[in-house]
């Protein structure tokens, strides 16, 4: 094989390797950005719901699920999130996308929210791995309940796949 041909093959190999590395970095960066955007979105939505007078009034009622389950489902559908779960400070659900799970215990971390601090996490719950927020619902100075809002990682992945042709 001539020297010119060897140099051409070497150049092609370097270009292919560079394109693959840059493509992998771009996809990884896009995945991280998509997860970060979802974290911000579920946290701000959770904070908005926690500040709602309708939610605080429902928590004071005899049957909070009566108001909170339909509200959670309405918010879930209109906000394009995977779940909206209202719960007691102890983690007992007032709402869930699967109504049979109402009254069960929330799967995930709630301690920071019980002490008054909103946070986000990536956790595997009853619906699967998700990016979620857990926000305290205050009634005066006390934490009267919690709300968790999340997007399944599968849905975030689907969004990334939809963007993949543009990235490439």
Angle (CA) 45-121-60 rounded to 5° is 50
Rounded CA separation 42/68 (Å)? 17
Q: What is the pLDDT of residue 166?
A: 67
Q: What is the pLDDT of residue 164?
A: 67
Structure tokens given for 50:
């926690």
Torsion of CA 118, 122, 127, 128, to 10 degrees: -170
Rounded CA separation 132/120 (Å)? 5
Residue 22: count other Cβ atoms within 10 Å of its Cβ.
Answer: 10
DSSP tag of 110:
-
Q: Give per-10-residue mean pLDDT for the chain (168 aa).
A: 88 91 81 87 95 92 93 94 95 94 92 94 87 93 94 79 66
Residue 81, helix vs strand vs coil = coil
Q: What are phi and psi of 61, to 5 degrees?
A: -75, 170
Angle (CA) 59-39-113 rounded to 5° is 40
End-to-end CA distance of the chain: 33
Q: What is the pLDDT of residue 11?
A: 92
DSSP tag of 105:
B
Indicate the pTM of the whole model: 0.78
Residue 1, helix vs strand vs coil = coil
Q: What is the pLDDT of residue 167?
A: 58
């Amino acid at each position: 094989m001539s020297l010119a041909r060897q140099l051409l093959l070497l150049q092609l190999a370097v270009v292919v390797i560079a394109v693959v590395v840059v493509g992998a970095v771009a996809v990884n960066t896009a995945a991280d950005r998509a997860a970060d955007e979802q974290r911000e979105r579920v946290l701000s939505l959770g904070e908005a719901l926690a500040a709602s007078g309708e939610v605080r009034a429902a928590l004071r009622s005899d049957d909070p699920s009566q108001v909170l389950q339909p509200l959670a489902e309405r918010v879930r559908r209109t906000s394009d999130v995977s779940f909206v779960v209202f719960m007691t400070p102890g983690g007992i659900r007032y709402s869930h996308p699967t109504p049979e799970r109402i009254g069960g215990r929330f799967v995930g971390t709630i301690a920071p929210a019980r002490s008054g601090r909103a946070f986000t996490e990536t956790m595997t719950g009853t619906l699967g791995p998700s990016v979620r927020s857990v926000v305290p619902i205050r009634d005066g100075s006390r934490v009267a309940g919690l709300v968790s809002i999340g997007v399944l990682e599968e849905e975030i992945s689907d969004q990334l796949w939809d963007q993949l042709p543009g990235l490439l």
